[in-house]
Amino acid sequence: MSDFLSAYSIQNWLESCPQGYLMATVYGHDPDEREIALICDNPVLREDAIRTTVQLVVGERCALSASSGLINAAPDEASKRFLATQTLDEARHVEIFTHRLYDLGVRKEDLESTIRHHANPNLVRFAEVLLEKVDRKDFIAGVVGQNIVLEGMAFSVFEMMYALNQQMNPKFAHTLSGTIADERRHVGFGENRIGSLIRLHPEQKPAIEKMQKDMSYYMLATFADAFKQTQAIDELERIGQEQPHAQYQGVDLGEASPQQMEAVLADTVLKEFKTRLGRIGIEYQTPAHP
């Protein structure tokens, strides 16, 4: 166990993250990169970008609370130290997505009201299910919920958003690429550390499986709400702006309907859950369809 955890040391984190892929970035992107005029100058597209970014802030605030809260519950020093790096990663994500809101024109004094206005209730409920486990200092359920379910979802969502923005909005794509690299590390820790703990505590499996089922339901409900918001696509069509033909999981996102995009995202995330949960000895539970 200690050999595996040595790969998650703060020394490695310092070398690979702040002194690696984040070098020379400011709030996650190159100092001279800017939000594109297409979004900033169009009220409909700007509002849609704000709504999307708010969901990222909500998710990252949940991840920050969860990773910091799990430090006290961690059964060994090496896990505490890994979670310390994850805490700072999540705080950085909160910071960079909050700054994107400022870049999109949200005033600092309106930040919290903007987040309250746009936060998806299903995403808030998703976070609450996880944070209930963290509040009870339930380390195993907390790490499964945080590093496999939440991070697994974030990883796929960020990858899809990265594909959508890579050509159109290099600044936001750059911001996302750093968070994707972080999330990859977090998911790896969850899988590696928790498998051994679950073998020691098989009695916890039913509660963890129920948590995964509940969180998956609220995640699908969040996706359903998000892809029903078609104002931005309608606006792009209205102004004659062609959507980039980005590929995600073999689908051309420039051609796909919102329903097809929702389906491919949900399918990708749930398949990942099934694979990763299987590796740690947890049986994937199919959620109800919202």
Partner 1 sequence: MRAVPVSGDVHDLSPEQFYEEVHSFEFWFQAVEGYLSGLTWGHRPQTADPTLPAADRERLITILCNYCVGETAALDGASGLVAIAPNRLAKVFLSTQVVDEGRHLEVFFHRLRELGVADPEAEVERRASRSLLLFRRRLLELVGSKDWEAAIFAQNVILESLEFAVFHSHAEGADPVTAEILRNVIKDERRHIGFGENELGRRLANAPHIRARLGQTKRELDHLVLDALADTARLIGLPSGEDERLSRMYLGSVERLGFVL
Binding region for partner 1 (CB under 8 A): 9-11, 13-14, 18-19, 22, 26-27, 31, 64-65, 68-69, 71-72, 76-77, 80-81, 83-85, 87-88, 90-92, 94-95, 98, 108, 111
Distance from C-alpha of 141 to C-alpha of 139, rounded to nearest angstrom? 6
Per-residue tokens: 48: 């849609």
Other CB atoms within 10 A of residue 77 CB? 10
DSSP 140-191: HHHHIIIIIIIHHHHHHHHHHHHHHHTTT-HHHHHHHHHHHHHHHHHHHHHH
User: Considering the complex, what minimum distance in angstroms separates the CB of residue 37 from partner 1?
Assistant: 17
Which lies closer to partner 1 via its Cβ, residue 63 or residue 251?
63
Beta-strand pair 251-252/247-248: antiparallel
User: Considering the complex, what minimum distance in angstroms separates the CB of residue 194 from partner 1?
Assistant: 19
Which lies closer to partner 1 via its Cβ, residue 189 or residue 217?
189
User: Considering the complex, what minimum distance in angstroms separates the CB of residue 127 from partner 1?
Assistant: 13
Instruction: For residue 258, give the nearest of 238, 239, 231 by alpha carbon.
Output: 231
Q: Which residue(s) pair with 29 in the sheet?
A: 26
Distance from C-alpha of 100 to C-alpha of 223, rounded to nearest angstrom? 21
Which lies closer to partner 1 via its Cβ, residue 66 or residue 282?
66
DSSP state of 76: S
Which lies closer to partner 1 via its Cβ, residue 11 or residue 41?
11
User: Considering the complex, what minimum distance in angstroms separates the CB of residue 1 from partner 1?
Assistant: 12
User: Considering the complex, what minimum distance in angstroms separates the CB of residue 82 from partner 1?
Assistant: 8
User: Considering the complex, what minimum distance in angstroms separates the CB of residue 199 from partner 1?
Assistant: 21
DSSP state of 244: P
Per-residue tokens: 233: 């696509």
Which lies closer to partner 1 via its Cβ, residue 19 or residue 167?
19
- How long is the chain? 290
Q: What is the largest CA-CA distance in the chain?
A: 59
User: Considering the complex, what minimum distance in angstroms separates the CB of residue 283 from partner 1?
Assistant: 31
Per-residue tokens: 123: 């995403």
Which lies closer to partner 1 via its Cβ, residue 116 or residue 271?
116
State CA 212 to chain mean position distance: 16
Which lies closer to partner 1 via its Cβ, residue 99 or residue 205?
99
User: Considering the complex, what minimum distance in angstroms separates the CB of residue 236 from partner 1?
Assistant: 27
Which lies closer to partner 1 via its Cβ, residue 17 or residue 141?
17
State CA 81 to chain mean position distance: 21
Q: 91 burial class (0-12, 13-18, 19+ CB within 10 angstroms)?
A: middle
